[in-house]
Structure 1
Amino acid sequence: MAGTLFSVIDILRTFNTLWQMRNPDKRGAFFHWRLIDAAGNELPLPDWMTAMQSPAGGRKTLRPSQTALFVPGVQMKSVPDLNHVLDQCSEELDCIARYHSQGRVIAASFNGPVMLARAGVLNGRRATVTWMIANWFASSFPAVQMAMEGPVVVDGPVFTAGAPAAVCDLVVELIRHFAGEEMAQIATNGLLYHPMRFEQSGLNFPGISVKTRDSVVFRAKHWLQQHIQTPYSLERVAQAATASPRTLLRHFKEVEGMTPLDYLHRLRVERAKQLLEVTLIDLTEVMEYCGYQDASAFRRLFRRATGVTPSEYRRRYTMRVSSRWWRADEPGADERADDLIKSLGIEPDDNAGH
């Protein structure tokens, strides 16, 4: 499945951009890659795929543990068809076993873990595979400890993902392994779906049913999403939801498992995280954009939600934009800062502070 390989490359390219934003003083890219055949020889890419080429340069000498082999899945019509394909892949299986014995990280997705199992890489290890062949896989490779509880399973230097769509999660785990927890969190923020960030952006889709749009909880959530900076008032939210405060509280807890105020705090913390990641505005402005007037309350709520203070979160996860963007003496600095904040879906709330 060549598409999976190119998805991996796209994700690595995006991460390299995030890494360079985080480390503007360092030259070169963090990740480099190449496509290889069963003998380990690099395969050239056609001219029309030059954008997929690995960045130039890079370290010439790497320890095996600093490298990874990614094994994509293969097209199959059935389990017998898959076995037939793999019976013709003895050289590829030898390559996987050889790379593993050298101490390299091995990763695979979809039905790719079958190749790892046949190469002996998964013996005694936990792994996952596509649900389509999970029962057959478990009976065919009893030495493998099946783990189907999540999209990605990591066991030492072996990484497996069951669904092709989980390849992004798989690469994030590889980033965590090679680049560390902080860069993995930055990659997660930049690459993976965040429900709370989607909700606080104020975007809506026509696919939501009329019944949902007409519900008390939907109206309350929609109002809160549009008024993150507005001082909280249960009566005001209930009025927007066309319900009594008591009815709103009951329905909101039943549907969301929290109060409207708890939900608002989650939206505010998520907005604060975004601002801390991609802007250099001071903490007072961050606090105001998130609807807080009390600095100590803001820090307490933020730490309760994230485990760290706002300052520590910025230190760990900021994507460092050039300070020239924020210098008051640079022409257009205010406009650039406003544009960046607006790009996050954040607009000034006319009701803020009232």
Structure 2
Amino acid sequence: MITVAIVAQPYCHASGVHGVMDFFATANYCGRRTSEQPLFECHIVTADDEPVRGYSGALVTPTTRREALKPDLIVVGSALEAVVVESYVERSLAHARPLFDWLRSASDQGALLASVCTGSFVLAEAGLLEGVAATTHWRAAGLFRQRYPGVRLEVDQILVDNGQVICAGGASAFSDLCLYLVERLASPAVALACSKLLVLDNRRMEQTPYMRFYGHKAHQDASILKAQAWLEAHYAEPVAIDQVADIAALGPRTFKRRFKDATGEPPIGYLQQLRIEAAKHFLESSRDQTAQIIWRVGYEDASSFRRLFKRSVGCTMEQYRKRFSYVVPSTLAAAG
């Protein structure tokens, strides 16, 4: 039997913590055909052995004392506030500090470690991701890269497996992680039975289609902030980078260097991301033809924009619309 410790943090995705418990309980049910004993024994633990309040306000109560447990698998859950604000990361990691020695000791004894969403910050802070690949919630990527430059962040991926350490992307990716863990630790047959019983698709591979572009503005360069504001208002117009440099009252070379230093993106890359984000919005909210949308966001070369969109988003414009549009086609509306 595999002993699983699920770490609940303050402001966690409470349904994710209990969802991991439920998933492994389902695996035990599905594994009855091949094993008389349960495959997994799951426990919820916290840093101080006290209940924590989830982001929704729900109370998550530990089922055992952490130090009394010798787990084969540890799943560190998210702290959702850490997705948005850097100060929340500091607060979450301060609360998680008692976990670091415990995690390192478990790793030294051969335990498999996994994280969901911003749980990767805890593993990284404990030094368990240095020099390897990881993923986290796409919106926390900038903070993660800034804080842990020695970790190779692959934020476009939903799952990253380093052998003994596995990271999953957003909060709901706990289901992808659990499916993967059941396949790895039990069998592909049990994992398939779980996916059918829980009505889950096979594992999603990429986080890219879910990402949104937020231009980095937490810097003090007033000239670059002015340029960013202008680009966001005029992205659909013909734009020359030298023109934007003039608006920022900087020479072209100085402007390009300072823009990249401040935002992490070159000016042309920033402009492209603004246009892609606008195209995604129109695909979600309108039934306009894709060629019309391409023109609407400021591109004249449709094939060039299509390639750029697929490279950035991970799917074609048509695939994105099919997946994320919330506009009912007129034929269906008439029929309904």
> TM-score, length-normalised on structure 2?
0.49
Which structure dedicates a bigger proportion of its chain to strand? 2
- Kindly name which structure, 1 or 2, has the bigger radius of gyration based on alpha carbons: 1
